[in-house]
């Protein structure tokens, strides 16, 4: 089973579990902005570096039981990609790019009055896209863990802050950014990228 099919099955199970009770449960929507550290990636002949940049996104939380919510979120970062060979010291600009996350998972939020800590665990996919040319988008399985807090202004409005460690996985002997059978970069050993982000947003409950 491919990664996309595995994630689709996982997402179906989560949706099937939550949507049956969605009309009886509280739903929260949180638009947010923040900043993402995008990291670097070792290739067969050198190293790729992505520029740290602001990000933005949307979170959907659905209460499924006491202190627990199903969480679905999306984020986007406008960045750029640069590259250097192993025997070089300076990076060369490759292209402007975007990095997107599509995740689903669980949010732990104990009901402790107006200030409530949160714990985050999600799974999903990371998509990176080069702006120029006709290169295929690169999709990678990724996980996210994090924490933060919700500061409730009213029963239905809260200010949310959070930090997440986002980790895309690259399998060994893989290629990225390909077109017509030609790929820009190859990866021999399995790689992971640490892409932490820090966000703030306004939560509205329905």
pLDDT tens for each residue of 166-198 = 999 998 889 999 998 899 999 988 899 999 999
Query: Mean pLDDT across the stretch 28-40?
Result: 98
pLDDT band per the 50, 70, 90 thresholds, residue 26: confident
**Which tens digits make up the pLDDT trace of 100-126?**
999 999 999 998 899 999 999 999 999
pLDDT at 21 over 60: no
Please tell me the distance from the alpha carbon of residue 38 to that of residue 54, in angstroms, as a whole number: 10
Helices (H), the chain: 3-19
pLDDT recorded at residue 167: 98
pLDDT of residue 181: 85
What distance in Å separates the CA atoms of residue 59 and residue 199, rounded to the nearest whole number?
Answer: 11
Q: Binning pLDDT at 50, 70 and 90, where does residue 25 land?
A: confident
Burial 164-190 (b: 16+ CB within 10 A, else e): bebbbebeeeeebbeeeeeebbebeee
Statement: residue 139 has pLDDT above 60: yes
Question: Any idea where the domains of the chain sit in the sequence?
Answer: 3-205
> Mean pLDDT throughout 54-59?
99
Predicted confidence at residue 204, as pLDDT, reads 98
pLDDT for res 13: 65
Q: Say if CB 101 and CB 75 are below 8 A apart.
A: yes
pLDDT > 80? residue 55: yes
What would the mean pLDDT of 23-48 be, rounded to a whole number? 91
**Domain with residues 3-205, CATH architecture:** Beta Barrel (2.40)
Closest C-alpha among 179, 206, 175, 177 to residue 191 = 175
Give backbone dihedrals phi and psi of 117, rounded to 5 degrees, phi first: -70, 155
Find where tokens 């923040």 sit. 34
Mean pLDDT of 2-13: 65
Q: Do 158 and 152 form a contact (C-beta atoms < 8 A)?
A: yes
The pLDDT score that the predictor gives to residue 118 is: 98
The answer to whether the Cα torsion of 104, 106, 111, 117 is positive or negative is negative
- Does the pLDDT value for residue 15 go beyond 80? no
d(CA 52, CA 30): 23
C-alpha to C-alpha distances, 15 to 107, 114, 194, 201, nearest whole angstrom: 15, 29, 28, 24
Q: What integer pLDDT is reported at residue 189 of this predicted model?
A: 82
Mean pLDDT of 56-85: 97
């Amino acid at each position: 089973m491919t990664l996309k099919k595995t994630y689709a099955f996982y997402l179906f199970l989560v949706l099937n579990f939550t949507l049956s009770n969605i009309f009886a449960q509280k739903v929260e929507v949180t638009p947010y902005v923040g900043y993402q550290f995008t990291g670097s990636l070792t290739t067969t002949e050198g190293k790729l570096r992505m520029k740290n940049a602001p990000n933005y996104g949307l979170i959907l939380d659905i209460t499924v039981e006491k202190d627990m919510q199903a969480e679905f979120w999306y984020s986007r970062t406008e960045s750029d990609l640069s590259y250097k060979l192993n025997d070089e010291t300076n990076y060369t600009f490759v292209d402007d790019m975007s990095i997107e996350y599509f995740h689903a998972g669980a949010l732990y939020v104990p009901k402790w009055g107006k200030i409530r800590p949160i714990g985050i665990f999600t799974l999903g996919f990371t998509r990176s896209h080069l702006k120029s040319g006709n290169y295929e988008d690169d999709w990678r399985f990724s996980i996210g863990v994090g924490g933060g807090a919700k500061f409730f202004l009213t029963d239905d409005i809260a200010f949310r802050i959070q930090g997440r460690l986002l980790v895309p996985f690259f399998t060994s002997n893989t290629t990225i950014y390909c077109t017509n059978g030609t790929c820009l970069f190859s990866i021999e050993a399995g790689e992971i990228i640490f892409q932490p982000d820090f966000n703030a947003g306004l939560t509205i409950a329905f």
